[in-house]
Amino acid sequence: MEILKGIAVSPGVVVGRVFVLDDPRRKVPRRTVPPEQVHAELARLDEALTASVKELTEMRQTTARELGDEAAKIFAFHIGMLSDPTLSRPMRERISAERVTAEYAAWMGFQDAAKRFGAMPDVFKTKIDDVRDLSLRVLRHLLGAQASRLATLNHRAIVIAKDLTPSQTAAFDRNHVIAFATDLGGKTSHTAIFARALGIPAVVGLGNITSLASDGIDIIIDGERGVAILSPDQATLAEYHGIIEQRRTYQLSLEELGELPSITRDGVQVHLLGNIEMPDEIPAILEAGGEGVGLYRTEFLYLTGNSEPTEEDHFRAYQRAIEMLRGKILTIRTVDLGADKYTQERTENPERNPALGLRSIRYCLQALPMFKTQLRAILRASAFGPIKVMFPLITSTNEFRQGKYLLNDVMEDLADEGIAFDRNVDVGMMVEVPSAAIMADVFAREAAFFSIGTNDLVQYTLAVDRINERVANLYNPCHPAVVKLIRDVVRAGRRRDIPVSCCGESAGELDFALLLIGLGLRTLSVTSSSIAPVKRLVRSVTAAQCGELARKACSLDSDLAISAYLRDQVRKILPEAFDGRSAEH
């Protein structure tokens, strides 16, 4: 049995069997197979080599036809290398002698070949790039088959990977993947956010789980405490089956809250809305008693499809969401691509510092046709039900004004074309960068509402990458600087009489929600599974009591002191929400 501690990012506790998803661009870990599987591994290697040669042959023919024989020579060289037994023989020998997987043997074989070229005179050193190229091609065949193997599994698979992109996570089929665990990652990465949206328990930042796990072994994922247990013993399995039962009872007790209003004991209403990445999440929000959608992360349209969404794709998604909401508000955030979402995976030259790069509204303002396509779809959808529009990552008044200007432009086009839309749609902004928070009183003159995005506000205020497990201990929304910014934004909103909500992940955490209510927030937008627990909290406190707690929290001078104080208070207010094994921060 091996117990690994990581970061809890998506709740739930499950028991299942490991399925390792390797990445051809990274070192393939050494994994052994049972003696009876050696033949199958040899066959997999042969198939991958043959398929690669076939692919290269086709490429050589196309290139020769289009660009001439000279240009096609490189493929002939690649085919020659792959067909050379001095490359494949050691791979085969390694599988037979060491009983390792085909991908590990191939990876090692290519590494050795690269080393041989590296030791030769300079003129041969360029061949190292060719070896890398070939290695990627062959490994893609070996590992690419993993995705289709994953879809045909007949056991409850728990995916183990070095890291997962939001698009990979989005592609998981809930019937086959019941949880995942990764070596890298942070709590507010979009991979983690998507795991919560899909209701898949997940633990990230486990360090080296990919080298310790092998296909088919038993594993427990504890998405509450951020623990993964490989090959658990009988006593641990029995303990966890008990925990799973206990959680089921707790979840059932939350279901009773759906119908009840979200009002504090002294009669103050705290509106609870849901965050979504796709319209299919709306029923869960309504069932939990959510009053609408406070954040629709529309960029997930790009992450889940194979091509750029058309105006109709956008429109259909929004119209569907509006229909499902039956008159409740839909807050559509315009696409927030970049950083860990989409653009970096697909670009030839990834940015050196993508969180500070061409992301979000900046990207939209440079990709005007794409942006206008989305704005048209949003406005067309506004004819079918109540919506609000929200721009992400606003850092300056110019950006907000440009966004509004473009929206007006699109309104004129639609009016000219005689297409119906709501001319009075509210246009607000995310406050998720310190510059916007500091200038909240200025923005409040122009924005119809604010939505505080703590995921990014924490990252940019504390200079802590939200997806980097190495600094996860420094990523804390309870930092006094973040609390002060939130307090100032709420005050600015109140002075100008515009609504302020919070839609960052921490709004769904009970200790932080307590603080937000105390700071004066009256709308929280959270992931659907957090609506009921937060409602229980709201119904258990008075607004005056929260205000008092917030004042005390604001007098403390460190994130750790504020976190500890709030945790203690929540434990006193709602002891039943804790079973003695709550997530560690």
Q: Which residues would be at the binding site for Mg ion (CB under 5 A)?
A: 432, 453, 456
Closest approach of Mg ion to the CB of residue 468, in Å: 16
Q: Is 477 in the site for ligand PEP (CB under 6 A)?
A: no
Tell me which DSSP letter residue 491 carries.
H
Closest approach of Mg ion to the CB of residue 503, in Å: 9
Task: Name the nearest CA neighbour of 138 among 47, 211, 26, 41.
Answer: 47
Window contacting ligand PEP (CB under 6 A); options: 116-124, 402-410, 453-461, 554-562: 453-461
Distance of alpha carbon 98 from alpha carbon 33, whole angstroms: 9
Closest approach of ligand PEP to the CB of residue 74, in Å: 42
Of residues 49 and 507, the one with the C-beta less far from ligand PEP:
507
Task: Name the nearest CA neighbour of 162 among 459, 469, 455.
Answer: 469
What 3 state SS string does 307-354 have?
A: CCCCHHHHHHHHHHHHHHHCCCEEEEECCCCECCECHHHHCCCCCCCH
Report helix, strand or coil for 178.
strand
Binder of residue 403, out of Mg ion, ligand PEP, none (CB less than 5 to 8 A by kind): none
Task: Name the nearest CA neighbour of 581 among 8, 137, 1.
Answer: 8
Interface pattern 390-429 for ligand PEP (x via CB under 6 A):
----------------------------------------
Q: How far is CA 419 from CA 202, 277, 386, 464, in A?
A: 44, 27, 17, 45
Of residues 60 and 314, the one with the C-beta less far from ligand PEP:
314
Of residues 466 and 535, the one with the C-beta less far from ligand PEP:
466
Measured distance between the N- and C-terminal CA atoms of the chain, rounded to whole angstroms: 24
Among residues 11, 428, 504, 533, the one that binds ligand PEP under rule CB under 6 A? 504
Q: Indicate if 503 belongs to the active site.
A: yes
Of residues 135 and 298, the one with the C-beta less far from ligand PEP:
298
Binder of residue 519, out of Mg ion, ligand PEP, none (CB less than 5 to 8 A by kind): none
| Subset of residues 238 to 297 that bind ligand PEP, contact rule: CB under 6 A | 295, 297
| Subset of residues 323 to 342 that bind ligand PEP, contact rule: CB under 6 A | 336
Report the Cα 16 to chain-centroid distance in Å: 22
Window contacting ligand PEP (CB under 6 A); options: 408-416, 448-456, 480-488, 508-516: 448-456
Residues touching ligand PEP: how many (CB under 6 A)? 11
Report helix, strand or coil for 201.
coil
Of residues 24 and 279, the one with the C-beta less far from ligand PEP:
279
User: Which stretch of DSSP H or E encloses residue 180?
Assistant: strand 177-182
Name the active-site residue from 364, 478, 503, 546: 503
Residue 354 near residue 360 (C-beta atoms within 8 A): no
Name the active-site residue from 78, 141, 190, 314: 190
User: Which stretch of DSSP H or E encloses residue 157?
Assistant: strand 157-161
Q: Indicate if 78 belongs to the active site.
A: no
Q: How far is CA 17 from CA 14, 220, 235, 243, in A?
A: 10, 8, 18, 18
Q: Is 432 in the site for ligand PEP (CB under 6 A)?
A: yes
Tell me which DSSP letter residue 182 carries.
E
Closest approach of ligand PEP to the CB of residue 460, in Å: 9
Among residues 455, 501, 545, 569, the one that binds ligand PEP under rule CB under 6 A? 455
Question: Which residues does the annotation mark as catalytic?
Answer: 190, 503
Contacts with ligand PEP, residue ranges (CB under 6 A): 193, 295, 297, 336, 432, 453-456, 503-504
